[in-house]
């Protein structure tokens, strides 16, 4: 029987295998940031261990860093201490680091791909659940906890039990106005936040093949919100074109050898998935979450659901609780819900294509009175690219705040937060209670819907703007 | 890591589903660079509510948490496990755990006992009827018992073995140093490095 893409990558990384034990898997790239690494470095230090492969490890500062006044010391002393701990640890253990102020600094999942470090067939880990992003290149990429960060630092391997595989096939091209974000929100609404538990998702079909690398990254990024540790897309010419010429991509004969191998990384025709989901692209439309987990979403044209719609008691209680937290009434049209803040950014939608999409809608328009809009590039490189294209002027002229790179309001570890009761349209990945600040109410949307919503002050799609 | 064999303690019922790691400990508590002291962040948004279960005096000193399905979804933060441990929890019982949370628990020595939802409901009823009910979790026998209830639970066999032995994963892996070195020497020449 043939193998799936995920199985091929897995098999190519087995260091040792024995009955009754997890496989020991080699890790090709370990990305590190300031929040989930200090305890791991501490443990190495107290055990007298070294980082086995600093040359396969890369650190960047992203979660905690401010997005204004980055030339000044970080104001919050605890954030500053954490960032300083990362700098000290990287220096001591020889790990390359892109600190605040570096031209390569940015969100860890934006930085890896833009440098060409994320390549097909690799294993990529990071102490961050959105590591699934890198699966867009046909890499097996997943988030790990701090104990595992320590394990990879010390051994460049991880003991792992094989995942099951799930195919998510998108038949037909995405309709006009439907983005990768809408697609993944629809997938999560269909299979649920636990639907992918124990699986690696492979996104396939025409609706996926037609996506750019940025779109594929958005798609794979939110695999974790369906409970799956990893999501993958088989590499193709779109992948190779994106990679060629990037600083860490292979060159010359190495490039040819790499591409020849990468072309074998497709699920075999006779391979079997443990589960399959099929979605007709023609049925998709812009999507908005209404609740407090990413599976609680509906089309923009829809209404806030009622607890009476629940399939069981557990779901009924969950809907009631979410409606109460979100201060929403069943039956309210999504388009009638007003927002206070619009956030464009994050590892989900903070890439250049996302900023271009938002800017194209804001061009010649204004952010509605009383609405605050933050645009936070995913990396310094994305920021510089946007500036070279004049996108910064579009945002500023529309009345949005144009910020420096970082995770920012996606998880509110830095000063960018919602205040209690404030409601956002956010291009990030999690609408959990308090995720964007205590008491904040988050609705997840695409950059296109975010920009249109900023203009009207309530949820809207670009098509709604006359 | 300390070996885990049998644990007996009182339990708290957490009648919520989809308790994500942002609820277990919000991001603002993750700035600490030490390994301990995360108990103040545990369920911090809910702890300000006097009706929250852990604020009830009858649930003081609990060491077993009985939670609704899909516990630990979301972020990979191991701080969620540490916060539960620092507060005093040794075992979490649920009918469904998120993968990364469950993996992190196994590494850090917090037992995640997977039972069916019916067992969760029965435990909730027992504990709420009498919060002093002792709940015993036997990792060797893989059983949860409380009052007249005895139910088996699922745990990954390898994690179970490691917890019973109290073994450190890195120590186990470093015994395979030769295999790692052999694998490394066979990696393709075009594999990227982060330096240069």
Q: Encode pLDDT of B110-123 as tens digits.
A: 999 999 999 999 99
Q: Which of B116, B93, B118, B95 is nearest to B105 (CA)?
A: B93
Whole-angstrom distance, CA of residue A210 vs CA of residue A238: 9
List, for residues A120-160, the tens digit of each pLDDT value: 999 999 999 999 999 999 999 999 999 999 999 999 999 99
Spatial contact of A28 and B191, defined as CB atoms under 8 Å apart: yes
Select from B27, B70, B173 the Cβ nearest to the Cβ of A194.
B70
- In order of A72, A214, A239, B75, the CA distances from A137 in angstroms are 37, 10, 6, 22
Confidence class of residue A466 from pLDDT cuts 50, 70 and 90? confident
Q: Which of A139, A166, A429, A432 should be substituted to probe chain B, the one whose Cβ sees the most B Cβ atoms within 10 Å?
A: A432
The alpha-carbon gap from A456 to the nearest alpha carbon of chain B, in Å, equals: 31
Which pair of tokens denotes residue A260? 């020849």
Tokens 């309530």, residue?
A: A458
Q: Mean per-residue pLDDT for B51-75?
A: 97
| Cβ pairs bridging A and B (under 8 Å) | 207
Asked if A159's CB is within 8 angstroms of B30's CB, the reply is no
Which pair of tokens denotes residue A281? 């692209």
List CB contacts (< 8 A) between A150 and chain B. Answer: 170
Nearest chain B residue to A410 by CA: give it.
B27
List CB contacts (< 8 A) between A434 and chain B. Answer: 22-23, 26, 45
Confidence class of residue A452 from pLDDT cuts 50, 70 and 90? very high
Which pair of tokens denotes residue A344? 């464009």
Spatial contact of B38 and B90, defined as CB atoms under 8 Å apart: no
List, for residues B164-193, the tens digit of each pLDDT value: 998 888 989 999 999 999 999 999 999 999
Q: Where in A17-101 does DSSP place strands (E)? A: 23-26, 29-32, 57-60, 97-98
Q: Mean per-residue pLDDT for A68-93?
A: 95
Whole-angstrom distance, CA of residue A27 vs CA of residue A22: 15
Spatial contact of A380 and A104, defined as CB atoms under 8 Å apart: yes
Which pair of tokens denotes residue A9? 């990558």
Select from A57, A154, A198 the Cβ nearest to the Cβ of B170.
A154
The alpha-carbon gap from B89 to the nearest alpha carbon of chain A, in Å, equals: 19
Indicate the DSSP class of residue A367.
Answer: P
Residue B143: beta bridge partners?
Answer: B138, B152
Q: Is the Cβ of B9 closer than 8 Å to some Cβ of chain A? A: no
The pTM for the full model equals 0.96
List CB contacts (< 8 A) between A122 and chain B. Answer: 191
List CB contacts (< 8 A) between B167 and chain A. Answer: none
The alpha-carbon gap from A26 to the nearest alpha carbon of chain B, in Å, equals: 8
Whole-angstrom distance, CA of residue B196 vs CA of residue A247: 10
Nearest chain B residue to A432 by CA: give it.
B22
Residue B136: what pLDDT?
A: 98
Q: Which of B70, B133, B81 is nearest to B111 (CA)?
A: B81
Select from A82, A198, A254 the Cβ nearest to the Cβ of B33.
A82
Confidence class of residue B127 from pLDDT cuts 50, 70 and 90? very high
The alpha-carbon gap from A18 to the nearest alpha carbon of chain B, in Å, equals: 12
Nearest chain A residue to B156 by CA: give it.
A161
Asked if A318's CB is within 8 angstroms of B193's CB, the reply is no
Asked if B195's CB is within 8 angstroms of A20's CB, the reply is no
Residue B135: beta bridge partners?
Answer: B9, B146
Residue A434 pLDDT more than 80?
yes
List, for residues A337-368, the tens digit of each pLDDT value: 999 999 999 999 999 999 999 999 999 999 99
Residue B1 pLDDT more than 80?
no
Asked if A143's CB is within 8 angstroms of B170's CB, the reply is no
Residue B13: beta bridge partners?
Answer: B66
Q: Is the Cβ of B50 closer than 8 Å to some Cβ of chain A? A: no
Per-window interface: B 134-153 vs A, CB < 8 A: none
List, for residues A91-118, the tens digit of each pLDDT value: 999 999 999 999 999 999 999 999 999 9
The alpha-carbon gap from A362 to the nearest alpha carbon of chain B, in Å, equals: 31
Residue B167: what pLDDT?
A: 86
Select from A57, A146, A249 the Cβ nearest to the Cβ of B78.
A146
* Helices and strands in chain B: count of H runs, count of E runs: 8, 8
Q: Which of A78, A50, A435 is nearest to B34 (CA)?
A: A78
């Amino acid at each position: 029987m043939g193998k799936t893409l995920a199985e091929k990558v897995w098999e190519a990384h087995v260091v040792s295998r024995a009955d009754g034990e997890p496989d020991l898997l080699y890790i090709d790239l370990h990305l590190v940031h300031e929040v989930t690494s200090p305890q791991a470095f501490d443990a190495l230090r107290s055990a007298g261990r070294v980082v086995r492969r600093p040359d396969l490890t890369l650190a960047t500062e992203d979660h905690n860093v401010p997005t204004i006044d980055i030339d000044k010391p970080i104001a919050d002393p605890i954030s500053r201490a954490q960032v300083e701990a990362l700098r000290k640890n990287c220096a001591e253990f020889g790990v390359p680091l892109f600190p605040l102020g570096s031209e390569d600094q940015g969100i860890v999942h934006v930085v890896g791909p833009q440098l060409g470090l994320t390549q097909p067939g690799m294993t990529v880990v990071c102490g961050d659940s959105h590591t699934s992003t890198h699966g867009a290149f046909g890499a097996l990429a997943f988030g790990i906890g701090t104990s595992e960060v320590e394990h990879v630092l010390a051994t460049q391997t991880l003991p792992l039990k094989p995942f099951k595989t799930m195919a998510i096939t998108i038949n037909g091209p995405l309709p006009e106005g439907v983005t990768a974000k809408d697609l993944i929100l629809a997938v999560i609404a269909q299979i649920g936040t636990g639907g992918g538990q124990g699986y690696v998702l492979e996104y396939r079909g025409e609706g996926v093949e037609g996506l750019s690398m940025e779109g594929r990254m958005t798609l794979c990024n939110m695999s974790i919100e369906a409970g799956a540790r990893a999501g993958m897309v088989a590499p193709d010419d779109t992948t190779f074109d994106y990679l060629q010429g990037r600083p860490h991509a292979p060159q010359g004969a190495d490039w040819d050898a790499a591409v020849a191998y990468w072309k074998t990384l497709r699920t075999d025709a006779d391979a079997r998935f443990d589960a399959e989901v099929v979605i007709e692209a023609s049925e998709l439309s812009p999507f908005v979450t209404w609740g407090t987990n990413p599976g609680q979403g509906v089309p923009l044209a829809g209404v806030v659901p009622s607890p009476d719609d629940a399939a069981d008691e557990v779901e009924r209680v969950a809907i009631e609780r979410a409606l109460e937290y979100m201060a929403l009434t069943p039956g309210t049209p999504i388009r009638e819900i007003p927002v206070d803040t619009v956030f464009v950014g994050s590892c989900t939608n903070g890439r250049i294509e996302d900023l271009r999409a938002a800017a194209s809608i804001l061009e010649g328009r204004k952010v509605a009175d009383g609405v605050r809009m933050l645009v936070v590039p995913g990396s310094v490189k994305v920021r510089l690219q946007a500036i070279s294209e004049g996108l910064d002027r579009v945002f500023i002229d529309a009345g949005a705040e144009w910020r420096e790179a970082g995770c920012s309001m996606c998880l509110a570890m830095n000063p960018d937060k919602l205040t209690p009761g404030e409601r956002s349209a956010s291009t990030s990945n999690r609408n959990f209670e308090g995720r964007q600040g205590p008491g904040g109410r988050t609705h997840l949307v695409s950059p296109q819907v975010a920009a249109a919503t900023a203009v009207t002050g309530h949820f809207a799609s670009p098509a709604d703007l006359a | 890591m300390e070996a885990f064999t049998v644990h007996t303690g009182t339990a708290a019922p957490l009648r919520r589903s989809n308790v994500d790691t942002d609820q277990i400990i919000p991001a603002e508590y993750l700035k600490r660079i030490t390994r301990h002291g995360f108990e103040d962040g545990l369920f911090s948004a809910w702890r300000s509510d006097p009706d929250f279960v852990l604020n009830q005096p009858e649930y003081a000193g609990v060491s077993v948490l009985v939670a609704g399905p899909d516990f630990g979804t979301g972020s990979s933060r191991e701080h969620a496990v540490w916060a539960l441990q620092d507060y005093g929890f040794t075992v979490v019982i649920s009918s469904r755990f998120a993968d990364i949370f469950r993996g992190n628990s196994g590494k850090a020595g917090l037992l995640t006992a997977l039972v069916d939802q019916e067992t969760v409901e029965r435990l909730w009823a027992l504990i709420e009827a009498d919060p002093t009910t002792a709940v015993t979790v036997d990792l060797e026998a893989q059983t949860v018992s409380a009052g007249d209830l005895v139910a088996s639970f699922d745990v990954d066999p390898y994690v179970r073995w490691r917890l019973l032995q109290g073994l450190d994963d890195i120590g186990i892996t470093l015994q395979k140093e030769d295999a790692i070195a052999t694998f490394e020497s066979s990696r393709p020449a075009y594999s990227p490095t982060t330096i240069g």
